Amino acid sequence: MDKKEILKKFLETNEVLIVDKNPSSRNRLLKTMVDLGAKRSTIHSVGTLQESQEIIQTKNIGIVLSDYFIGGGSGFDLFKLLREKYPNKKELCLVLVTSNISQTAVAKAAEEDVDSFIIKPYTIQSIQENLISTVTQKIMPSDYIVKIEEGKVLLAAGKYDEAIGVLNVARGMHPKPALAYFYIGQAEYLKNHVDTATGSYNEGLNFNNIHYKCLVGLYEVFMREEKFHEAYQVVKKIAKYFPANPDRLAQIIRLAVRTGNYQDMQMFYEIFTSLDIRLQVLTNYIGAGMYIAGKYCLLNSDKDTAFQYFDNIAVSCSEFTKFLRAVITLLVENDLSEDAEKFLSRFDKDAKDGEDYLVADFLVSSKKFTDPGFVIKIGLELWNKNIRDFHFLETLVEAMEKGGYKDEKIAPYREELQSLYSDKAELSA
Amino acid sequence: MIRLDGNSILIADSDPGFLNPLAQALTRHGARCFVAADMGQARDLLVKFDFDLVISNYYLSDGIIYQLMDWCTKNLSFLPIFTCVGHPFGADKELSQKQAIASVFQKHEVGQILSGISRLLFSFEAYHQSLLEMIDPSEIKIEICVSDYNFLVSPLEINEDNVYLAMDREFLKGTFGVLKFAVVLEERYHSFIIPGSLDEKCQSGQVFVVDEKYRGHWKHFLDYLNMKQVKITKFLSKAAGF
């Protein structure tokens, strides 16, 4: 049968869901789908995730065309819901139609197994070609894919050896069988044959060096084996090609710190800034990574890189005032109070009543003003606000000593310092 | 403050008393300016340099602006946007827009010429930002300039001679407009300024019909979209593929 006819037939017999915030966009796409063979009565067009949920509860959807950002979520959220609702519906086509052509959007589409990615504005020809290719692969899968599906079923049933047998047959049916190697790797991994699994994933990557599933499989093996340096190298590659996953970026930052790869932190920061959505939890991770890497560079006399990292914190993570406080504390500790003062201006106006700003401001002031009386005055104000911080207390006690306060007057502050921060207090003594 | 940095402008007029002060004013605002006293000089310059915009008197000593435009359509691969100076009647303005002249200015009203062409050209900030990023834009955004207003529109379906636009405002059929957008092609920043007219509004947006003279330029954008689509599809099938 002619491929155009296959698409037409598919559209005639399947319900279509179009999701786009913009009514004009929905209507245009609806008209295009009718032109390609869909029946008007079986096309449902909505603007939000919630409306889509209502549709998928009652209708038997065969193809979904969704924009990246939709009301109340993203197209990926919708695709996830559909996969959960129809785990065995192999013919379900999930198509992203979007003007968001950022690397992160494309990578996320690859990660999320989206069947097709159509750029908006689209031509009738491009949409037709994409849908033909997607639908044909779904309803007329190659023998290789059929074999892999057979292997996946055995894998899910826990019949690992049988699955490996079937997947080995599949391996011979394709010139670049990366996917078959991935599932063989999965089966070996589940059998606890870690080395064989590693070999299988690497074989897959030999055929296709950016095969997402093989890269992730390899990463998981290395993490399980606590081979952090190897895991880091793999996940760095994943982040380069698939920068969209916030969870993974958080893992990478942890691994970079753990393996001492502080020099890569700028690259991860750039990935972070290119993300379409920056979750708070990720901002927290990137802030922590930047701070640790910056501290490492500062203590190793690489002041320029350290300040680059601290500036990144000031620009992108200032919502977490704890990082600005930590940077300022570190700089004051290292006799860089003039530099520290610049970071004070990065606190948001609303954050200036908070403990982080008050402590940071006190530490900068303690270096700026030579009069111990002034330092003690503002220090006691913080004390009375029940603020306790090792550097603050240490500075207050020092100022009191310098200001000629009697021992019995200083004693309560010293005692508090000792009791709260005994380790640090001993070290600094 | 109007900034025209990064834009090249050709002024064609036989009156040096108009040419030179306008060129100086445009240069002060950051544009790279060239002047031509007649059509012959203008043609020579158009062959040597890529211009974003031409400001030409309706009447030149050796021809009229339409002849210059016809010559450009035949001989240049990238057509600049044309504006005209003169003392037009309402009917003249309508006629000139049918010929894809983006704006008609009154001579000696330098302030209005400046603000008018700044609406048509790319702003310094946007241009500079794109140069700084030098990466593919995350979203294809198109700005439309209609009746002295500029606003962003979302492109939906695109064809060889038109594009469906989703926009909040509605304009009468035949209203002249200019589309402005930029893309990164082979790591180089390319700006597009495309005149045309709006067709009737329908449920699926308003159709912008590209002026015939600019279809070649438009095709470059279509080619870019096709290339981008192929790259994305290839990446997807490789990364998540067999």
At A121 the pLDDT is: 92
Query: From the list A101, A116, A120, which residue is nearest B138 (CB)?
Result: A101
Which comes out higher in pLDDT, residue A331 or B152?
A331
At B242 the pLDDT is: 64
Contacts of B233 in chain A (CB under 8 A): 116-117, 130
Q: Does B242 touch chain A (CB under 8 A)?
A: yes
Query: From the list B136, B156, B159, which residue is nearest A25 (CB)?
Result: B156
Counting residues of chain A whose pLDDT is more than 70, the rounded percentage is 98
At A335 the pLDDT is: 92
Superfamily of domain A3-139: Response regulator (3.40.50.2300)
At A322 the pLDDT is: 95
B149, containing H or E segment: strand B149-158
Average pLDDT on A56-68 reads 92
At A226 the pLDDT is: 92
Which comes out higher in pLDDT, residue A205 or A109?
A205
Give the pLDDT band of residue A241 (cuts 50, 70, 90).
confident
- Nearest-Cα distance to chain B for A105, in Å, is 8
At B138 the pLDDT is: 64
Average pLDDT on A159-185 reads 94
Q: Which residue of B has its CA nearest to A104?
A: B138
Residue B136 predicted with pLDDT over 60:
no
pLDDT in tens, A356-409: 999 999 999 999 888 888 899 999 999 999 888 899 999 999 999 988 888 888
Q: Output the 3-class SS for chain A.
A: CCHHHHHHHHHHHCEEEEECCCHHHHHHHHHHHHHHCCCHHHEEEECEHHHHHHHHHHCCEEEEEECCEEECEEHHHHHHHHHHHCCCCCCCEEEEEECECCHHHHHHHHHCCCCEEEECCECHHHHHHHHHHHHHHHHCCCHHHHHHHHHHHHHHCCCHHHHHHHHHHHHCCCCCCHHHHHHHHHHHHHCCCHHHHHHHHHHHHHHCCCCHHHHHHHHHHHHHCCCHHHHHHHHHHHHHHCCCCHHHHHHHHHHHHHCCCHHHHHHHHHHHHHCCCCCHHHHHHHHHHHHHHHHHHHHCCCHHHHHHHHHHHHHHCCCCHHHHHHHHHHHHHCCCHHHHHHHHCCCCHHHHHCHHHHHHHHHHHHHHCCCHHHHHHHHHHHHHCCCCCHHHHHHHHHHHHHCCCCHHHHHHHHHHHHHHCHHHHHHHC
Give the pLDDT band of residue B67 (cuts 50, 70, 90).
very high
In this structure, of B42-56, B87-101, B188-202, the range with the lowest mean pLDDT score is B87-101
**Cβ within 8 Å of residue B57, ≥6 positions away:** B12, B13, B14, B15, B65, B84, B85, B86, B107
At B1 the pLDDT is: 67
At A311 the pLDDT is: 93
Task: Report the predicted TM-score, pTM, of the whole model to 2 decimal places.
Answer: 0.74
Whether residue A101 and residue B228 make contact (CB cut-off 8 A), yes or no, is yes
Average pLDDT on A119-138 reads 90
Residue B134 predicted with pLDDT over 50:
no
Contacts of A110 in chain B (CB under 8 A): 235-236, 239-240
Give the pLDDT band of residue B165 (cuts 50, 70, 90).
very high
Report helix, strand or coil for B53.
strand
Average pLDDT on A411-416 reads 89
At B159 the pLDDT is: 92
Q: Does B137 touch chain A (CB under 8 A)?
A: yes
pLDDT in tens, A285-329: 999 999 999 999 999 999 999 999 999 999 888 889 999 999 999
At B222 the pLDDT is: 92
**Angle between helix A212-224 and helix A228-241 axes, rounded to 10 deg:** 160
Residue B134 CB coordination number (10 Å): 10
Domain positions in chain A are 3-139, 319-429
- Nearest-Cα distance to chain B for A15, in Å, is 21
In this structure, of A183-192, A328-337, B21-30, B117-126, the range with the lowest mean pLDDT score is B117-126
Give the pLDDT band of residue B83 (cuts 50, 70, 90).
very high
- A185 strand-pairing partners: none
At A104 the pLDDT is: 73
Whether residue B154 and residue A99 make contact (CB cut-off 8 A), yes or no, is yes
Which comes out higher in pLDDT, residue A223 or A109?
A223
Handedness of CA B153, A79, A101, A98 (dihedral sign): negative
At B124 the pLDDT is: 60
Residue A276 CB coordination number (10 Å): 15
Average pLDDT on B223-230 reads 88
Which two three-digit tokens encode residue B117? 């062409």
Contacts of A179 in chain B (CB under 8 A): 241-242
At B47 the pLDDT is: 94
Distance, CA of A394 to CA of A418 (rounded, Å): 10
Query: From the list A22, A32, A117, which residue is nearest B154 (CB)?
Result: A22
Q: Which conformational region is residue B65 in: left (phi greater than 0), alpha (psi within -120 to 50 degrees), or beta?
A: alpha
Domains and CATH numbers, chain B: 8-120 (3.40.50.2300), 130-239 (2.40.10.220)
Give the pLDDT band of residue B131 (cuts 50, 70, 90).
very low
At A159 the pLDDT is: 95
Average pLDDT on A172-195 reads 93
CA dihedral A312, A313, A318, A321 (to 10 degrees): -170
- Integer-rounded Cα Rg, in Å, for chain B is 19
- Residues across chain A: 429
- Nearest-Cα distance to chain B for A237, in Å, is 12
Starting from the edge strand earliest in sequence, which strands make up the sheet with A116-119, in order?
A43-46, A15-19, A61-66, A93-98, A116-119
At B148 the pLDDT is: 79
Mutate to test the interface with B, among A24, A114, A126 (most CBs of B within 10 A): A24
Q: Does B138 touch chain A (CB under 8 A)?
A: yes
Which comes out higher in pLDDT, residue B67 or B124?
B67
Whether residue A101 and residue B205 make contact (CB cut-off 8 A), yes or no, is no
Contacts of B239 in chain A (CB under 8 A): 107, 110-111, 210-212, 241-242
Query: From the list A31, A111, A210, which residue is nearest B204 (CB)?
Result: A31
State residue B190 phi and psi, 5-degree precision: -125, 130
Contacts of A117 in chain B (CB under 8 A): 232-233, 236
Which two three-digit tokens encode residue A35? 């032109």
